[in-house]
Amino acid sequence: MDSPRFDRCLVIDDDEDILLSAKLLLGRLFRRVETAARPDETPAMIAGGAYDAVLLDANYARGATDGGEGFRWLGAILRADPGIAVVMITAHTSVAVAVAAMKQGATDFVSKPWNNDRLLATVANAAALGRSRRDTGAGAAATGSTLLGESPAMARVRSLIEKAAPTDANVMILGENGTGKELVARELHRLSRRAGTAMVTVDLGAVSETLFDSELFGHVKGAFTDARADRPGRLAAANGSTLFLDEVGNLPLHLQPKLLTALEQRRVTPVGANAPVDIDVRVVSATNLPLSELGDEARFRQDLLFRLNTVEIELPPLRERRDDIAPLLARFLDDYAARYAKPTRTLPAEVLAALVAHDWPGNVRALRHAAERAVILAEGDAYRLVDFPLTRGAPAIAAPTASPPESGGELNLDRVERQVIEEALRKNGFNISLAATALGLSRGALYRRMEKHGL
């Protein structure tokens, strides 16, 4: 069995059979699956700790089908934790409820009775999205705060956002991993005329090719095996709102014409349907690919690129806006000290100078993780440089090394790799993000290696 990829999940449903089934199934993804039969129990549970994902039933009262009660609790959950990923559980006939849920802030939805593989894929994508929001601070944007940073580079970004947001122009956000592309997308939506609805997000890097049509365009009941109910696609769910296409550069070339056609015609035809559905969406997309690669016809269609980047916003890496490091760090340290009930510590000038001089290859996401680790592990009245996980030669958590196993001079690569991963996990308190940074890997690559070695 695969090792769980995420930490905690909460399932809220008044059907004990549903709770049991979900707990058994989602144990493949989460180390802890908690359940609640009453939605009024959830605010205290949400306040008690961070969840990677929440599954919330849409209806509780006998005979109810409008999702009203579920929507009220969805709002309460999002107020308690604006960045949390909530997947609504709907009856198989409640397509309208599913669309309304996404417009009100749900990350996705699943229908009863569910298909196990689709449920796992849906919840995994939602949990990954929720974790990404926490890493970059995207949840803060949902509460109405603005982008942090007063450097000239961020002033230019903020100016572009303010000019583009009130229009319906499509926007493409460029930037390295960890620079906060989703945060910019949410700020564009917050300042737009569509701000009264929830932005709908789809991670194109996580959508399998076989599910692409169903996820983006929807399907009707009976369109294919396991199509047990009508399902609206993300484009239809975003009707009247903003559709955020994350990792658009990862969309395979042969699927790009389908997206282009839908955007040009402003209509979609669900799989198995006979008639198209009109859509009114404002598209914001993001990619970590440089323009040189996006300009390669063998990688990305130029007509789709022109459609997506009416306005282009490039997020600078943190190393190019060092003036922002100190205020960002102060904000993160204060936030995590409050979250973990830790004392406020001073940050000596020499420590701050070293942190500002660091290149931060993981950008704002890496800075946030460094602050979290420091708050958790620091001792005394002041932070020390060793409290912060710096790569590239800093003393805190340089990439771990492992001595070759004693096997008569014969090296076993798999055994060494496992030892290195175990050491990185131990040194970083089993924080996956920090261990991946120390090893020079992406989170996904580290998860794959952990699964390979049964860790």
Q: How confident is the model over 193-248, as pLDDT tens digits?
A: 998 888 888 888 778 788 888 888 888 887 777 777 778 888 888 889 999 999 99
Domain boundaries, given as residue ranges, for the chain:
1-136, 146-316, 321-452
Residue 273 and residue 221 in contact, taking contact as beta carbons nearer than 8 Å = no
Q: Which pLDDT value is given to residue 197?
A: 82
Q: Do domains 1-136 and 146-316 have the same CATH topology?
A: yes
Residue 231 and residue 111 in contact, taking contact as beta carbons nearer than 8 Å = yes
Residue 290 burial (CB count, 10 A): 12
Summarize pLDDT for 380-435 with one digit per residue, the tens.
999 999 999 875 433 333 334 444 444 444 456 667 777 888 888 777 766 676 77
Give domain 1-136's CATH superfamily: Response regulator (3.40.50.2300)
Q: Which DSSP string corresponds to 381-415?
A: SB--GGGS---TT-SSSPPP--PPP-STT---HHH
- Distance set, CA 428 to CA 120, 336, 374 (Å): 28, 17, 11
Q: 357: buried, middle or exposed (CB in 10 Å: 19+, 13-18, 0-12)?
A: exposed
Q: Which pLDDT value is given to residue 116?
A: 85
Q: Is the dihedral of CA 106, 111, 112, 113 positive or negative?
A: negative
Which stretches in the chain have pLDDT values below 50?
1, 139-146, 392-410
Q: Which pLDDT value is given to residue 205?
A: 78
Q: Which CATH fold would you assign to the domain 321-452?
A: Helicase, Ruva Protein; domain 3 (1.10.8)
* CATH value of 146-316 in 3.30.70.120, 3.60.21.10, 3.40.50.300, 3.40.50.11810: 3.40.50.300
